[in-house]
Amino acid sequence: MIQFVLFGITGDLSRRLILPAMVRLFAQGKLPELTILGFGTRDWSDEQLRQHVAELLRTLPGVPLKAWERFQERIHYQAAELSAEGLQGLKQLSGDAVFYLALPPDLFAQAAQALGTLGVADERSGFRRLAVEKPFGTDLASAQALNQALHAFWREDQIFRMDHFLGKAATQNLLHVRLANRFLEPIWNGYHVDFVQITYAETLGLEGRARYYDRSGALRDMLQNHLLQLFALVAMEPPARLDAQSLRIHKLEALRAVRPIPPGNVDQFAARGQYVGYRNEPGIPADSRTETFAAMKLYVDSWRWQGIPFYLRSGKRLAADAAEIALVFRPAPAAPLGTLPPGRLVFRMKPGALELWLSTRHGDEAQQLRLQAALGQEPEYGAYEELLLALLDGDLSFFPSEGEVEEAWRIVDPILRAWQQGEPEPYEQGSEGPKSQHALLDPGDSWDPIGK
C-alpha cells in the first residue's frame, strides 16, 4: 500500500489534473494500491473535500464517475500548516510513500524542508519520493537554490520534477519514432536537416492565472521547460539504453551543447511580443511588459548539429492551437523536375499526427506528397496519467534532472536579463504573433504559418 501525500489538494492543479488522472487510472485497474492523504489550509472534513473535488470532476470530460464513487473513500483530508510542527503526524508514517507538492512555487523549498526535518525522506521502511510541480525556479540562481534546498534532505533519485510535456503521447511518440526506425538515424543530423522548428501556439489566454502569468511570461512558462525538453529529445544523441540514466545524460549533453546567447546581441536570437489587450485583462497591470509570445534561435555545438539553427516559439491568443516539431530537410542539389519545397518530417502535437513530406512525380510535374498518420488526441490529463504511473513505479525517465533544469535556465538567462529593458512588440489577438520573430531566421528559413 502506497501513501500518496498530496499537498495542495484543494487547489486547481489537483482538482483539474492530478485527481482526474488518478480516477481514470483507477477505473482502468492501472493504479497500484494507494491511499491519498491531502493537505490544505481550509478547515474541511473528508466529506467536504470529496464534495469539492466531485463537483469539478462532474464537469470534466472522460472522468469515470462510477469509479470516483469507490475511489473517493481512499481520500482523506487534513488542514495543516506547512511546517515540521504542522505536519508532525507524518512522523508515524511507515512503508512506501510519495509526497507530491502541488503548491505555489514559493512553498516548494519550505515543504521539502519541513518533510525532511521530520525524517520522512528516510527509506528504511519503504521508498520515499518527492514530486515537485512547475515552475522550477524563475532563473538560474533561483533554480540552483531550490535544487540545493531539496538536496538538503532528498537524494536526486528521490526527486521527480514534473514537466507534463514529457508525459504527452506526442512527446513519447517523438522518441519512439526516432529510436524505433533505424533508417531515420542516418538523416537525423545537420548533413540532411536544414533547420528544426518547434512551435507551441495557443488560442487560449490567461485562464484566470493573471497573477502567476504576469510574473512569468512565455519564455519562463513554456520555452525554458517544455520546449527545451522537446528540443533536447530531438537534439540528443540516441541513447544505447532506454532507461532514465541514459536518457537524462543524453538530454543534458544536448542542452550543454547549446551555444550561449551573447548578452550584447540578444535581439538576434530572441523575439518577444504581447497581445493587444493583455494590459486590460483582469489582474494585469496597465503598464505590464510581460511577454505573451517568445521565440528563440539556438545553435548547438555538437558534431550532429553544428551550424544548424533550432527555432523555438510559443505564444498565447494566436491564430490557432497548433503545435509541431518539424525537421526541415535540405533541398536536393539537382531535382529532375524543378525544385519543390524541401522535404520534412513533422510531429504534430494537437491533435497528434506524424507527417512525412516527399517530392514525387505526377505526369510531367513535380508534386509534393504529404503522408500523414493521425496519432490521436489525449484528454488534458493524459500526460498526468503517464507521469503518475512512472512516479509510482519509480521511473525517472520522463522527469527532468537537476542538471537539465539548470542548463535550460543557463540558456534562457541572458534573454531574461536583456528583456528587463525595453518592451515586447504588440501583436493582434488571433494573429501569427509579432513580426520580430521573422528577424531571427537565417536567410532562406521560414516559420510555418500557424494553423494552416
**Contact positions toward ligand BG6, by CB under 6 A?**
164, 202, 204, 221
Torsions phi, psi for 182 (to 5 deg): -60, -30
Evaluate the CA torsion angle 329, 299, 221, 98 in order and state its sign: positive
Torsions phi, psi for 259 (to 5 deg): -65, 130
Using the CB atoms, write b or e for 232-269: b if 16+ within 10 Å. Answer: bbbbbbebeeeebebbbebbbbbbbbbeebeeeebeeb
As a whole number of angstroms, the longest Cα–Cα distance in the chain is 80
**Cβ of residue 382: shortest distance to ligand BG6, in angstroms?**
9
Cα–Cα nearest to 200, from 325, 30, 329 = 325
> Would you state the cell numbers that stand for residue 304, as one nine-digit string?
550532429
**Cβ of residue 415: shortest distance to ligand BG6, in angstroms?**
18
Query: What is d(CA 167, CA 161) in angstroms, rounded to the nearest whole number?
Result: 12
Q: Which is nearer to ligand BG6, 164 or 348 (CB)?
A: 164
Q: Which is nearer to ligand BG6, 71 or 381 (CB)?
A: 381
**Cβ of residue 195: shortest distance to ligand BG6, in angstroms?**
24
Instruction: Assess whether 250 carries a catalytic annotation.
Output: no
Q: Running DSSP on this structure, what letter comes out for residue 286?
A: T
Inter-residue contact 434 to 272 (CB < 8 Å): yes
Q: Which is nearer to ligand BG6, 180 or 204 (CB)?
A: 204
**Cβ of residue 168: shortest distance to ligand BG6, in angstroms?**
7
**Cβ of residue 218: shortest distance to ligand BG6, in angstroms?**
8
**Cβ of residue 40: shortest distance to ligand BG6, in angstroms?**
21
Cα 304 to Cα 49, 63, 179, 239, 345, distances in angstroms? 53, 44, 16, 14, 17
**Cβ of residue 441: shortest distance to ligand BG6, in angstroms?**
24
| Pair type for strands 159-161 and 75-79 | unpaired
Q: Running DSSP on this structure, what letter comes out for residue 78?
A: E
**Cβ of residue 321: shortest distance to ligand BG6, in angstroms?**
8
Inter-residue contact 248 to 157 (CB < 8 Å): no
Cα 112 to Cα 18, 121, 384, distances in angstroms? 19, 9, 21
Q: Which is nearer to ligand BG6, 164 or 317 (CB)?
A: 164
Q: Which is nearer to ligand BG6, 20 or 343 (CB)?
A: 20
Inter-residue contact 116 to 152 (CB < 8 Å): yes
| Pair type for strands 159-161 and 193-201 | unpaired
Q: Which residues contact 199 (CB under 8 A, 6 or more apart)?
A: 312, 313, 314, 322, 323, 324, 447, 448, 450
Strands (E) across 250-321 are located at: 270-275, 293-299, 309-315
**Cβ of residue 167: shortest distance to ligand BG6, in angstroms?**
9
Q: Running DSSP on this structure, what letter comes out for residue 262?
A: P
Using the CB atoms, write b or e for 17-27: b if 16+ within 10 Å. Answer: bbbbbbbbbbb
Query: What is d(CA 41, CA 130) in angstroms, rounded to the nearest whole number?
Result: 20
Q: Which is nearer to ligand BG6, 204 or 371 (CB)?
A: 204
| Bridge partners of residue 345, in order along the sequence | 327, 356
| Position with the least CB separation from ligand BG6 | 221
Q: Which is nearer to ligand BG6, 204 or 334 (CB)?
A: 204
Q: Which of 76, 164, 226, 438 is catalytic?
A: 226
Q: Which is nearer to ligand BG6, 309 or 433 (CB)?
A: 433
Q: Which is nearer to ligand BG6, 96 or 378 (CB)?
A: 378
Annotated catalytic residues are: 226
